[in-house]
Chain A
Amino acid sequence: MSLPAMRVVRPRTVEDAVRVLAAHGPEAMILAGGTDVVPNLQMRLFAPRVLLDIKGIGSLRGVVRQPDETIRVGALTTLTQLLATESLRLRYPVISSAVRSIAGPLQRNMGTLGGNLCLETRCRWYNQSDFWRKSLGGCLKKEGTICHVAPGGDRCWAVWSGDCAPALLTLDAEIEIAGPNGNRRLALSSFYRNDGINRIALGGDELLAAVVLPPRTAGWRGVYHKLRIRNSIDYPLAGVAVVMNVDEQGVCRDARVALGAVNPAPVLVKQAADWLIGKKYSPELVERLVHAAIQTGKPLTTSASSPVYRREMLRVFTRRALEEMWGMRPRTPNGND
């Protein structure tokens, strides 16, 4: 399918990129790996006048340990490069677990960390061809006025479908955003708006430059569990990331639980740290957390899979992951279940 006519601009520096964004406003669109943006362009979900290819900006690449012991991962780091980076694999196992479950190896060779964190939200009523959508009269997110998922409402429920975000939320990651006035730092948890249309807190003249990982969560155990139709290529239908710092006595020193692919944003299960810190494994405690997880996740009919099944799998994954963290069951080698 051919793409709509547009200009393609290839800046070499962040400053130039930001200038182009500022000049063209919503008519400009950022392109990195292209695995999400290009199929969406083919489906005419976006109609930018200018495509801003940032792949030539060297300062957005590389994984560097900074003087304050944080690790800065450039937004253009491909998902394959993330997996190959020893320091990340050893210190933040939840990242590798999540990244291994993204699409397949060819897509991971192209797809970038920044792209995965800025993914377009997905819905069965939205990710369709131009003809299909127009036949239906569009939806709230595009070309229409009705949400077919929740027809009475005025909110878009298109789902957050990235796997990196829940994993990075559990690590208290921050992001670096470049804009016309330089860089700003933001907690990743403040980046997501839980709105299927206006999904991320990124200004029209800004771009995501890097992810910053704190030393505090380094070395914590972690795992990501993911539901999808096939164990390759497909987007998630539900995802659960869990990290835990466990001492030799099996006491939880700190923990986080985050969900993806069930809400318009990736979300932390707020109770996790409060309820788990200072506790040893017990089936009752796990079930309490499992209950909190399914209260947090709100799957709706945004995909071909039923909300009931996806909700049930949140329960299974949260239980399984917590048991793994406490050493009650063998670690899952990768995010596929």
Chain B
Amino acid sequence: MHRELIQLDINGERRELAVPPQKVLLDVLREDLGLTGSKRGCDDSSCGACAVLADGVPILACVAIASCYQETRIITVEGLAVAGEPTPIQTAYGEAGGSQCGFCTPGFMIAIHALLQHNPNPSDEEIRETLSSNLCRCTGYMQIYESVRLAMRRMEARSAQPAAVR
């Protein structure tokens, strides 16, 4: 099969690899880079399990052709934690039971991370609307929304502390 050399910026690292030019980003992440956190659910852009950040904006890796994203900074669920320190939503998810079978979790993590970066205090309606591209077939939506609210409370408490304690 014809392959071309492409360069991708994944989780802050420049990666060079030879792939078929039409290969989708999700397949490149999972098959060529071993980053299996992003999941293949529907494979046709209608479930959100493959979401990654492209220059900070959540997109669907199953319909993104990798060779077209060479000038974009891609962050996958593996790259959310900074220096091994879980993000507030990652911690809250475990505590509030946001994850059941776990398959949809990486996509939700990406969508929630982007939401909280952009708006640290979203309303319930904004949370529901922002997450409406992500399907959870365990139907654990209430726990997912609760995880977001728990993460919001944590972030607020942390930013209220004096800088020295932080």
Contact = CB atoms under 8 A, between A and B. Distances in A.
A4 B48 CA distance: 23
B47 to A, nearest CB: 8
B133 interface: yes
Interface stretch (A104-112, A140-148, A270-278, A311-319): A104-112
B133 A104 contact: yes
B22 A109 contact: no
B21 interface: yes
Contact of B44 (A7, A42, A56, A232): A42
A3 B24 contact: yes
B42 to A, nearest CB: 9
B45 A38 contact: yes
Contact of A38 (B48, B51, B63, B132): B63
B23 A109 contact: no
Nearest to B131: A105
A2 B67 CA distance: 14
A96 to B, nearest CB: 13
B65 A109 contact: no
Interface in A191-221: none
Contacts of B132: 104-105, 231-233
Interface in A55-109: 55-56, 80, 103-107, 109
A8 B111 CA distance: 29
Number of chain A interface residues as a range: 20 to 34
A105 B130 contact: yes
A307 interface: no
Contacts of B63: 34-35, 38-39, 110
Given A35-B45, A42-B44, A103-B133, A109 B57 contact: yes
Contacts of B57: 80, 109
Contacts of A107: 45-46, 60, 133
A8 B22 contact: yes
A31 interface: yes
Interface string B29-65: 0000000000000011110100100000111101111
Contact of A42 (B43, B60, B67): B43
Contact of B67 (A5, A8, A34): A8
Interface in B116-142: 129-130, 132-134
Contacts of A8: 21-22, 65, 67-68
A51 interface: yes
Number of chain B interface residues as a range: 20 to 34
Interface in A1-17: 1-8, 10
Given A4-B22, A105-B132, A31 B48 contact: no
Contacts of B2: 5
A235 B133 CA distance: 13
Nearest to B20: A5
A323 interface: no
A245 B60 CA distance: 39
Nearest to A233: B46
Contacts of B46: 107, 233
B161 to A, nearest CB: 32
Contact of A106 (B1, B20, B65, B134): B134
B27 A106 contact: no
A172 interface: no
A1 B43 contact: yes
Interface string B2-30: 10000000000000000011111001000
A34 B64 contact: yes
A104 B108 CA distance: 13
A106 B65 CA distance: 16
A3 B23 contact: yes
A110 B65 contact: no
Interface of A: 1-8, 10, 31, 34-35, 38-39, 41-43, 51, 53, 55-56, 80, 103-107, 109-110, 231-233
6 contacts: A5-B2, A8-B65, A8-B68, A10-B67, A105-B130, A110-B64
Interface of B: 1-2, 20-24, 27, 43-46, 48, 51, 57-60, 62-65, 67-68, 71, 111, 129-130, 132-134
Closest 4 CB pairs of A and B: A104-B133, A106-B133, A232-B132, A38-B63
Given A10-B68, A31-B65, A56-B71, 10 more contacts: A2-B23, A3-B65, A5-B2, A6-B22, A35-B45, A38-B63, A39-B63, A41-B22, A105-B111, A106-B111
